[in-house]
Chain A
């Protein structure tokens, strides 16, 4: 790759809104139902039906707009985007063309770089095509499920200011986190409730004029966005290097082959003939409504991250991880308050709890461990009721099955033993059994002591007070 070229990426992100009903009719908005069971005359585009705007969808889009510092337009309207493609039974999609619901705004990446937004508009999702007999270009027929047709969809359009595939991924992660926090979408890329197309071009470093762009589609995960962008950028670099012209076109990402391929030739370029939808009066939202929606916004991830660092004194990295989901952040705050020790709360959640969750295939939200129980466990370690090592075992039980830490300690006999007479017996047993290490230690190998301490702890099933163990060993080994 030539060093003298820079990458310019703009993303169009589609987010399905988690309303109960569809955008323009009362059909259930739900993923994964039997084909063509969540449909009605409106979303099937039958003659004589009239769409009516779902107020909640407008509210959700405005809330997303507020969270991303957008301006809600004083006047907005819906347009028909006309095309012949069986994924919309009406032969058009209701969208917003020149008067979107919000304009401007920005997405601030973890690095501090702000990517400006062009607009967010509201539209209806399309049905899902199933290509009988394999790929869409070779199959005999197209089978269609209209359950998704009419699901409220917002399209978030960035300015071409994303500088690398890595930044594109960060941008998507920030968007995902914000949408989850404000509760307007479940943003699952694998279920299609978050989808993304990318406009990619390259230009000589430091120039202003945009190069010829290609639009990349069919990226189904954050990983595939990064891989597709990386591939497309190097393809464009190769074009430039060989003196070939980059053609403005739509290219699909082929996950299996790991490359992008040309999807539409020039003569098939669409002309959507947008015009205002005569069935839908425009929107002109009053200040009071907007203010009440704005007041319902929760603390956003970036604000919460900063607060965690200043209020609880936890490291930036921990704050990033703990604020990724609203549930996890709430959980952390509950543990911090129950234990009275935010730093330990963070250490446990970032360390042993995470390990146990992974081992049991759980998350904080699916585990039965309550924040109160983890808080109590932390207090028990601090108060000397159990050792840190025994606490790890209790933690694992809590994560897997829930319960009360005190009861688990009692049931498993994990209470810390500080009574010297009980520990002496174990220490003597270990010294007898580990003659080699004892000799090594006496011969000047200081590290051997750690091993012996470990053996004593193991023998005591982690219950022995480690300070007492060390003192007794020192007394005996000199």
Chain B
């Protein structure tokens, strides 16, 4: 298995996903294969190719600055896991 230039524990913390030891090593192996693939891509000569962020050949899709109806406060909060008065309520921010 090639070196994995990525810290699984760090990535899972950023993604807020807790992994078991078994999952960590399984994902490490999968990441390693991904990195192998990326190494292959990096070996290709792409000097004539534009960086592609979009595969659909569209650009400048814009709308006029016009108002559309909003949801009501109760509609907006209907799916909230928790609300307090007019606000969405979430656990406090810092761990």
Contacts and interface: CB of A to CB of B under 8 A. Distances in A.
Interface of A: 19-21, 25-28, 34-41, 44, 46, 52-58, 77, 84-86, 89, 129-132, 136-137, 139-146, 271, 273, 276, 278, 280-285
B60 A283 contact: yes
A142 B92 contact: yes
B58 interface: yes
24 contacts: A21-B67, A25-B68, A26-B69, A28-B67, A34-B73, A35-B85, A35-B86, A35-B87, A39-B70, A40-B70, A40-B71, A55-B64, A56-B64, A86-B88, A129-B93, A141-B89, A142-B91, A144-B90, A145-B86, A146-B88, A278-B54, A280-B61, A281-B56, A281-B58
A34 B86 contact: yes
B72 interface: yes
Nearest to A75: B59
A253 to B, nearest CB: 18
Contacts of A27: 67-68, 70
B89 A284 contact: no
A38 B70 CA distance: 6
Given A25-B68, A86-B93, A136-B93, A143 B60 contact: no
Given A131-B92, A142-B91, A143-B89, A26 B66 contact: yes
A38 B66 CA distance: 14
Interface of B: 10, 14, 16, 53-54, 56, 58-73, 76-77, 79, 82, 84-94
**Interface of chain B, main secondary structure:** loop
Contacts of A36: 73, 76-77, 86-88
A26 B71 CA distance: 11
B13 to A, nearest CB: 9
A93 to B, nearest CB: 15
A34 B59 CA distance: 36
B65 A143 contact: no
A270 to B, nearest CB: 8
A28 B70 contact: yes
B65 A85 contact: no
A136 B95 CA distance: 11
A142 B91 CA distance: 6
Nearest to B87: A143
Contact of A139 (B58, B64, B82, B92): B92
B67 A41 contact: no
Given A20-B67, A21-B67, A145-B87, A85 B93 contact: yes
A282 B54 contact: yes
Given A37-B70, A37-B72, A86-B93, A281 B54 contact: yes
Contacts of A283: 59-60
A254 to B, nearest CB: 16
Nearest to A270: B14
B62 to A, nearest CB: 4
A85 B88 CA distance: 13
Contact of B65 (A54, A77, A89): A54
The 7 closest A-B pairs by CB, nearest first: A26-B68, A276-B53, A56-B65, A143-B87, A55-B62, A35-B86, A281-B58
Contacts of A35: 73, 85-87
A432 to B, nearest CB: 74
A130 B85 CA distance: 12
Nearest to A37: B73
Nearest to A19: B65
Most buried by B among A26, A56, A84, A276: A26
